[in-house]
Amino acid sequence: MLTIKEVEHIAKLARLELNEDEKEKFSKQLSSILDYVKKLEEVNTDNIEITAQVTGLLNVFEDDKIREISEERKEKIINNAPKHENNMFKVKRIMQ
């Protein structure tokens, strides 16, 4: 079973604030999910063809379109970010 510390770490990564009852609840629920995944890992898939999707649809992506938004909306979006600077999201560097 996942420990409370592990649940706290997952919650921190997801930027969730959990109370003690929620930590206990999610410890049990997440552990149950991981146990189920372990069962799925036992299934023999040696002769199963790789499948990316099952509907038969091809290229279901939409073209990127630039949409103008109001300055007020832009400001709301930027201000929702944990860190921002000069009207841009500020994130940790991922490459050195």
Convert the pLDDT of each residue in 49-88 to its tens digit. 888 878 877 777 888 899 899 999 999 999 999 999 998 9
Q: 20 pLDDT exceeds 80?
A: yes
Q: Which residues pair with 88 in a beta bridge?
A: 85
Question: What is the topology classification, in CATH, of domain 4-41?
Answer: Histone, subunit A (1.10.20)
Do 64 and 73 contact (CB within 8 A), yes or no?
no
Residue 84: φ, ψ to 5°:
-150, 155
| Domain residue extents for the chain | 4-41
Convert the pLDDT of each residue in 34-45 to its tens digit. 999 999 999 999
pLDDT at 71: 92
